[in-house]
Chain A
Amino acid sequence: MNAVLTARGLRVTGPSGALLVDGVDLALAPAAVTALVGESGAGKSLTGLALMDLVPGPARLCGGEVALDGRPISGLGPRDLRRVRGAGIALVPQDPAAALDPVARVGAQVAEVLRVHRGLGRAAARAAAAEALAEVGVTRDDHPHRLSGGQRQRALIAMALAPGPRVLIADEPTASLDPTVQIGVLDLIAARRDQGGLAVLLISHDIGSVARLADRVAVMYAGRIVEEGPVRSVLGAPRHPYTAGLIALAPRMGRPRVPRVPIPGSPPEPGALPPGCPFAPRCPARRAACEAARPELRPAGPGRRVACVLTHREASALGEAQ
């Protein structure tokens, strides 16, 4: 696999020095969607921002290397970094209502991106912006507060894709949308993956909604990736009890009456991780070894890795019990 974007050992610390993202490795393949899932506070958004060196204060990116097309972008000067942001790696931020400037029309905002990255003149940028918006189905050029949530989200996607990036980081692109609109937005991303060879990192808390779009999935817990692999095999036979718990939570077609079991407890505070596996206190398959040492990510089948002491057999038994 020839990854477009690779990240090794990303580390982000919080204001108190606690590790919020703890040694995350990612490799985004062209024409593929990688889903990054986990509960709130697992460090998903921070990981996405760390890829662009945009970790907001007081958190700090304190380690890791990111390479785009084999060229390292960690340590680039501000000018080169600006060229990478937007034109190389584009971000669709969380919360479309807040991610657009309320005092400008969306057409002008898309045009601005084109002027920066494609060097277009004012008129040419406006025309190209109108075209880019029409492509995603936003035909009305208006101020953000007069657009619907779906239109705003699609405008943001158009803005992110307009400079022709190699990588798209989409942070909860469907979180605030109706189910029907969600499908439209995900289809839009899928179309760009299939036509343009776009590498996508799809950040989501809902493992169910990414299942139809993602090619690979990485599950994050307490700042680390605890399981990753091809989406079919991970969702079909999860090896980590946390992944199994997330899957059991997702609503499923055709099984409306099955009660959904929440994962007991809540994620640990970043500054106060238990000594062993951070998931152990909530884990239904907890054993003595779990509290002794934190399990490292290890290979587990074709293209898969997992950070759990359970064997394949034990994990599938657990999956059936749920």
Chain B
Amino acid sequence: MRRLRGGLARLGPPGVAGVVMLFAITLASLVGPMLSPYGVDEQDLLARNQAPSWAHPFGTAELGEDVLTRVLAAGRISLLVGLATAAAATVVGAGLGLAAAWRGGWIDSALSRLTDLFLIVPAFVILIVLSLTFERVGAAQVIVILALLSWQSLFRLTRASALRTRELPYVQAARAAGAGGSRIVRTHLLAAAVPEIAAFAALAVGVSMLAESALSFLSLGIDPAADPSWGTLMIGAQQTVEERPWLTLFPGLMILATVLAVSLIGDGLRTALSPDGGRRPARRWLS
């Protein structure tokens, strides 16, 4: 408990605010729909298209569904997509980046060219094509596709960090002490890249949630009938946003709040995890 409090303190006030926001949103999404008096798809034809009120704080939708309940339920999918995509992209990007930097030679060249290839393909076009190819898109497909298209920047960050670190005296000293390659990568190169990796992971949660929302908004993402996400809730907003803004406003605010929260956490992590506030000794050791 004390360690948890110490860790939170090092994130700084904005980072703590981010943690609290993300925790609140996650908890509400998980528990909220169960506590709500309305079902997620429950229709109430006598209460169609109502503006926010005490009975329906976020208003009601076309067939009288409670928007608050739907937004909270949709949060489950949006958060799942965001977190799982970020996790997958982080593992792939950091792993390949460390491998490329440590092994060097043709492995580095091959991985770097592969990354360039992924960077130059127009991500959104690929996503659209893939979404149209799959008959029915579920959360798993979206996660895989988004992860495949978002690990490249972390690859470059991790590779650059590891290339810098591997020349530092303490890595040379580890070699002199008899440490092998995998041990050096695990204990020194990975540890030195943690600030970059943590910051990327936090930002990737937000970015992939936005991408999922955008896809869903274009009806190219997760099948809205199966798993509503914040993006799918906004489908058709062009027609409704003027007369019934609450249909679009509340899912949008949730996306905004979540992305803001993970960005604050990412910034906090980057400063908290850098030794000496991000500065690092870069001295040479040969006279």
Contacts and interface: CB of A to CB of B under 8 A. Distances in A.
B169 A95 contact: yes
B188 A101 contact: yes
B242 interface: no
A113 B175 CA distance: 11
B218 to A, nearest CB: 43
A41 B287 contact: yes
B287 A99 contact: no
Contacts of B177: 85-86, 90-91, 113, 116, 159-160, 163
B283 A97 contact: yes
A87 B188 CA distance: 20
B44 to A, nearest CB: 57
B277 to A, nearest CB: 11
Residue of A85, A91, A95, A117 ringed by the most chain B CB atoms within 10 A:
A95
A104 interface: yes
A190 to B, nearest CB: 22
Interface residues of A, number: 43
B19 interface: no
B285 A99 contact: yes
B178 A98 contact: no
Chain B at the A interface: mostly helix, strand, loop or mixed? Answer: helix
A97 B282 CA distance: 10
A304 B280 CA distance: 46
Interface in B72-113: none
B179 interface: yes
Contacts of A44: 287
B194 to A, nearest CB: 7
Contacts of B169: 93-95, 98-99
Nearest to A156: B173
A311 interface: no
A4 B280 CA distance: 38
A163 B179 CA distance: 13
A101 B172 contact: no
B3 to A, nearest CB: 14
Given A45-B287, A54-B172, A103-B192, A116 B178 contact: yes
Given A103-B275, A117-B178, A172-B287, A93 B187 contact: no
A40 B286 CA distance: 9
B118 to A, nearest CB: 30
B168 interface: yes
Nearest to B188: A101
Interface string B265-287: 00000000001100011010111
B176 A93 contact: yes
Contacts of B179: 82, 86, 112, 116
B191 interface: yes
Interface in A78-92: 78-79, 82-87, 90-91
8 contacts: A44-B287, A93-B176, A99-B169, A99-B285, A101-B170, A101-B174, A145-B275, A205-B287
- The 3 tightest CB contacts between A and B, nearest first, are A86-B178, A91-B176, A98-B169
